[in-house]
Amino acid sequence: MNIQRRQFVQATAAAIATAQFPILGANDRIQVGVVGVGERGTTHLDLYDSLDSDCRIAAVCDVNQTARERAVSKVHKAKGYSPQDYNDMRKMFESKDIDLVSIATPHHWHALATIWACEAGKDVYVEKPATHNVFEGPQMVAAARKGNRMVQVGMQSRSQPYKMHAIRLLGEGVIGQVYGCRVLCFRRRFSIGHTPDELPPSGLDWDLFLGPAQWKPYSLNKYAYNWHWFWDTGNGDIGNQGVHEMDVAVWGFGRSGWPVSVSSSGGKFVWEDDQQTPNNQQTTFDFGDSQITFDVRNLPTPPEGLMAGAPLRLPEGAGTLASSSGPFSMYDQRSANYVGNVFFGDLGFLILDHTGTQVYRSSAGNLTGVRGAEAGSREKYVRTVDEKAQEEDDTLHIKNLFNAMRARDYKMLNADVAVGVRSAAYCHLANIGYRVGRTLRLSQSTGRCLGDEEANALLTRNYRNPFIVSRIE
């Protein structure tokens, strides 16, 4: 099929989809169905509740009856009406009363739920990571484009004004040519221990919970929050908290191609429990002329990697330190957690985290001809940007989605599905490199691993019938 005919077919399909599912008017309230109303899904309910002039929570869906009942009660208490509740998302997608599907399921359901929703003519908000594996990404993008659906991924950094400004500064050359980024994800966690296999509790549809994953008996550790730490349902902390920082790194690097190679090492140290994913992981994404490095750690860690002599910022009410400055910037030295990014350029470096943005410019440009230790002793770093973060507001991300829905223009989305699946793919490649225990060499045209079929097999999964993500042309 030639390019012109392909474009005609795609435009015709989009027009048919739009005719079948009418465009929202500027004053229409968006009818929302939330899939997965556990801890994160409850946050979704609160988000849409706060935007009730724009939307209405029309339905909730969960495989756990208790969670559904709790969600219905929460909405009724806040709004005075009860949303329809569903055990099976497919039934909810059949409803003509739903405009937007908001997905807060475990990771292994994100892609299939999104694809089904798009095929049913719904727009989608899906939590990070967009996918459970690399193969699912292109299928999600194809489903969204084929049906002219708006699909926003829950990487809220993309809608935070101070982070958007920091990325603009990088693009404008504030630190010169960017040659590196260090990504830090230090989240203190603890062993999950062991829990026995047993019958699932009453009211939990374990078959629907597993969905695309292969069958295994229920145990408490495989459910609730700890599904994050099993390969068939989660992606470890690099795909949990880490994908947010990975997204900022990919965003700031501004590259459209694949890394030349990916190497990842680490392990699950100290703990003896049911967890499969590592609690320490170090990854390098090599582009030939630049690198992204990513450190993930769940055990005690010092505030490493940040700049000496910069002022220390403590959370509100955190108390005081002996000095107003310390050896590490933007870090509460009594905290077990730190997540952020440090970008390196030939003119300086930029630090971006939850407290704000700092830019340090080097005086090395004035030291032409000075060599070695003398240059190091004479080089100075001047802080040229110190922008405090605004209070995080996830409603900005949702409002951006609403605007794109009404305009029917996915290019308005701050975290369109194509953006989300790319950042998730980097995390998946890191995990593949860790699991096979060797450096991956990537094809620049396909993203597949060169000469490594064991690694390529992990780009997808063995889906369980009928919960299959198929290739979408």
Residues 122, 127, 130: CA angle, nearest 5 degrees: 85
Residue ranges covered by each domain of the chain: 3-157+395-416, 159-388
Query: Quick check: bond before 129 cis, omega within 30?
Result: yes
The pLDDT value recorded for residue 325 is: 36
Residues 238, 242, 248: CA angle, nearest 5 degrees: 135
The answer to whether the beta carbons of residues 185 and 342 sit under 8 Å apart is no
- Phi/psi of residue 462, each to 5°? -90, 100
The pLDDT value recorded for residue 9 is: 47
User: Low-confidence residues of the chain, pLDDT below 50?
Assistant: 1, 3, 5-6, 8-9, 13-14, 16-19, 305-334
- Phi/psi of residue 327, each to 5°? -75, -10
159-388, CATH topology level = Dihydrodipicolinate Reductase; domain 2 (3.30.360)
Closest listed residue to residue 230, CA positions, set 271, 274, 189: 274
Which residue bears the tokens 């830019």?
359
Q: How far apart are CA 267 and CA 217, in angstroms?
A: 26
- Of all residues in the chain, what percent are helix, strand and coil, respectively (each to 5)? 35, 20, 45
CATH code, 3-157+395-416: 3.40.50.720
Q: Which two tokens stand for residue 334?
A: 């009594």
Q: How far apart are CA 34 and CA 52, in angstroms?
A: 15
Q: How far apart are CA 130 and CA 152, in angstroms?
A: 9
Question: For residue 294, what are the CA distances in angstroms to 11, 19, 131, 305, 427?
Answer: 40, 45, 19, 12, 10
